[in-house]
Amino acid sequence: MRLLTTVAALRCYLNKLRSESQLTFPEDLVADEISSWDRTAVGLVPTMGGLHQGHLNLIKRARQENSTVIVSIFVNPLQFGPNEDYARYPRTLEQDQKLCENAGVDAIFAPTPEVMGVPAKNIQESLITQVIPPSAMILGLCGRSRLGHFQGVATIVTKLLNLVQPDRAYFGQKDGQQLAIIQRLVTDLNLPVEIVACPTVREASGLAFSSRNQYLSATEKEQAAVLYRGLKKAEAAFKSGVHNSNQLIAVVKQEVAGVSTVLVEYIELVEPTTLMSLETIEEEGMLAIAARLGSTRLIDNIILRDRQPIIAIDGPAGAGKSTVARQVAAELGLVYLDTGAMYRAMTWLVVQKGVALDDECAIAELAHTCKIELTPSPDLKSPVRVWIDDVDITQEIRTVEVTSKVSAISAQSAVRQALVKQQQNWGKKGGLVAEGRDIGSHVFPDAEVKIFLTASVTERARRRQQDFQKQGQPEVSLEQLERDIAERDWKDSTRKVSPLQKAADAVELQTDGMNISEVAAQIINYFHQRLSQF
């Protein structure tokens, strides 16, 4: 692991990394997979040090999804007000280095304020160029008492994203206002990075991990847990049918009032992405709280969603995901979100328009302007009808020509971004069963049920051989099929776009020796168990 403290060293490290990786494509990699197989994916975890389990969870996620992980450690003077704790904020670089090394971090970027080009003073006194998010997002919640805080955050995060130019950057949901502002910043400034939101990590008491928890005594930590208890009681009220802001806030207030040492700064219900106040939750809301315990300021939040459940099924090729997902959806009366059909629809459109497979710019334009629709069908073998730009292409997407070209189209990041956005829009109302390689980890990270469906290479080879025999295709030996499947697993798990991965909270289901009905029955049983817990 490298410790980098200057911009020059960071740039040298990244330039060397990217130049070396350009020479490492396997010789047998076919042309249409080159854009999807990439060992240069860089994940950035921005921190202010004082690392704890919450940070380590971000690093773990970044380690799963990228070939290189960089952690920045920078106590940002621009986000501290004149009377805040900049001087005493935890600075534990030596300990942080050990934690990062044990977590598999490749490099730490730990600059001084001088290296970052910012003075050791708050943003309102600074003469440097600033990034100022929309006023409606920075004046509410924490912004009321921390004037200039989010300008300081946005300015330094923008500098870090420009310096590292990562493929992905990781932030925790605990800082819900900060997360929403950074997501908006990246969208508005067209920054080429994916912001990955990770669930809040908590101590056994429910207290959200924070670097400032170091300020608390053991007794104060116990008292601080009341914030989460209040949020959970509001969540229970929400699930029982209470969607009104005043009533939900009153539930939290009543619980927190039981601990007199906790002084509430605010309790508010807002829309999670715009941070606008909500009177009633229609789809989802973020119930946020800030309070002081002694001299320590604590924040927390919980997302409340009014939607039907989502079942996300991931797993390697040949595990039977599509067939199982169709049956589960049919038996539970949910919609089967055929993501594969969406990529086939895009491929059909590319072919129809006569666009070359390697013309990624033209394909990107098609992906972001076309309209794909999936409508239910009573036929279990083909449970959805597929439309693109109001044309029914349900049968056309299954042709040999489309099948032979779909991997090249689905590997392109612009296609992936456009279709994932459509999928997530459909997911707002829930009631879906979806399958793929990262449905539970990326597309629907908040899915109520996550399954990682797998089988041994030997079992999947046997199933594939049976399929070939039923289809009257030429005989292929089990040994060859096993080699092909093992190679496909490796390529799927190392590709830059939509890599194969098991979500941390997914249940792994090993299906060797099981038929489709048995697998579906296990998933449905687990689905009912999960719903009973909510």
Query: How far, in Å, CA of 114 to CA of 459, rounded?
Result: 59
Q: Do residues 310 and 530 make contact, with C-beta atoms less than 8 angstroms apart? A: no
Residue 354, CA distances (Å) to 71, 232, 358, 362 in order? 44, 54, 12, 10
Catalytic residue among 52, 55, 149, 442: 55
Q: Which two tokens stand for residue 359?
A: 């013309």
Q: Do residues 334 and 431 make contact, with C-beta atoms less than 8 angstroms apart? A: yes
Cα–chain center distance at 448: 15
Tell me 201's DSSP state: P
Q: Which two tokens stand for residue 421?
A: 């956005």
Q: Do residues 519 and 324 make contact, with C-beta atoms less than 8 angstroms apart? A: yes
Q: Which two tokens stand for residue 105?
A: 């971090």
DSSP string, 503-532: -TTPEEEE-TT--HHHHHHHHHHHHHHHHH
Going 190 to 191 to 196 to 201, the CA torsion angle's sign is negative
Query: How far, in Å, CA of 312 to CA of 452, rounded?
Result: 8
Active site residue 442: no
Contacts 24+ apart (CB under 8 A), 21-28: 21/67
3-state secondary structure of 314: strand
3-state secondary structure of 319: coil
Nearby residues of 41 by Cβ (< 8 Å), 6 or more positions away: 65, 66, 67, 68, 167, 168, 496
Residues in the chain: 534
Could you give the residue numbers annotated as active site? 55
